[in-house]
Amino acid sequence: MEGVEALLAEARVFLDAHATRTPADAAFVWGQGSDGVSMFEEGSLEEQLAVVAREQAWAAVRFDAGFGWIDGPVELGGRGLTRAHRQAYAELERQYDVPMGACLTIGIWMVAPAITRHGAPELQRTYLPGLHRGDVLACQLFSEPGAGSDLASLTTRAVRDGDDWIVTGQKVWTSNAHVADVGMLLCRSDPDAPKHRGITCLLVDMHAPGVEVRPIRQMTGGAGFNEVFLTEVRVPDAHRLGDVGGGWSAALTTLGNERTAGSSGLGLAAGPGPFARLVELVRRYGDPTDATTRQRLAEIYAHERITTWTLDRGTAALRAGQAPGPEMSIVKLRSARKHRAVADLASGVLGARVVADTGEWGTFAWQQFVCGVPGARLGGGTDEVQRTIVGERVLGLPKEPANP
């Protein structure tokens, strides 16, 4: 098998030919460049579509060069190498100025693993190459207005009709739904079975008749989340993941990978530059000699270091071929605390500047971050869900009583 260093040598040639390396020691300078500070990339629909187009174009170039699905099977367009090879390439690519690929995250890191583990061979051939090349964009049709953290309480119904399912219901807080080609849907196929056992997982064509996507305007001003209404949508049984009534297993596969993909530290404190921005903000608009402020900065830095080290442990486990473990829930909890601490400190330092645009560089831009923090605490599982996972799987506490 090709070694990691041989792959990286080839990858450097490819990346040098197609992208610009980002300086590793680029220092933050107040007043230079964009002052944007946000939890999520948001913009108008036209701006979002332009970003999606760039990310898809880069994904196609990368896939065609043999770096799009490094640990995937050769017969499906992969390279047939290991997770360690894939992780090594990902770390190298982060040193270059290339599109982030946010629109591909759900498809590659959450939906594709579920298709790989629970999908029939024909379904894998249909979707997996396109998901990794960027030809197919995906979303998760999980949460509902009456079933958020208690996901298994979902009520979207799927009724068997010959070789098809007829699906009716509503999903909410669906990222990517407005650009997705396929949705991974959890629906109730047996209302009389215990709630975790009456769920079936289907792959839904997001362009099919009966699928309606409505954007949700958030307090950040963006509309990256959506409501999805399904009205007698016909889905072939061949597009089922796992057994009838066994959709909860597919959901757990996806949720485990979601925490892996989404816990790497969104937003501000993801490196020395962003943290330097916060320190400089305190110097300019706060009191850097105040003991309480200095303590809060130290706590934010500690949160970041602990998050990084814990994530490194999880990454090492993934490289070794292990499934995502409870350490990703610890990362998610720690990241949530860090983001809230950053938002609280920035808001306290800026005062009215965080809600009123005075035109001063590096001030009003923080409102995007502050308003985005609550959503980041919910995405990928609430704090309460993560604490339950840690309590049961790390501390060995008794499992929560199962609801009927």
Catalytic residues: 258
Nearest of 324, 326, 390 to residue 110 by alpha carbon: 324
Q: Work out the angle at residue 386's Cα, subtended by the Cα atoms of residues 385 and 388, and round it to the nearest 5 degrees.
A: 65
Q: What is d(CA 51, CA 30) in angstroms, rounded to the nearest whole number?
A: 26
The alpha carbons of the chain give a radius of gyration, in whole angstroms, of 22
User: CA 277, CA 328: separation in Å to the nearest integer?
Assistant: 27
Cα–Cα distance for residue pair 158/191, rounded to 1 Å? 10
User: What region, left, alpha or beta, does residue 355 occupy, with left being phi > 0 and alpha being psi -120 to 50 degrees?
Assistant: alpha
| Neighbour tally for 396: CB within 10 Å | 7
- Are 91 and 102 spatial neighbours (Cβ–Cβ below 8 Å)? no
113's CB contacts (< 8 A; 6+ apart) are 253, 254, 257
Q: Name residue 184's beta-bridge partners.
A: 140, 203
Classify burial at 87, counting beta carbons within 10 Å of its beta carbon; exposed 0-12, middle 13-18, buried 19 or more: middle
3-state DSSP: the chain helix, strand, coil percent, rounded to 5? 50, 15, 35
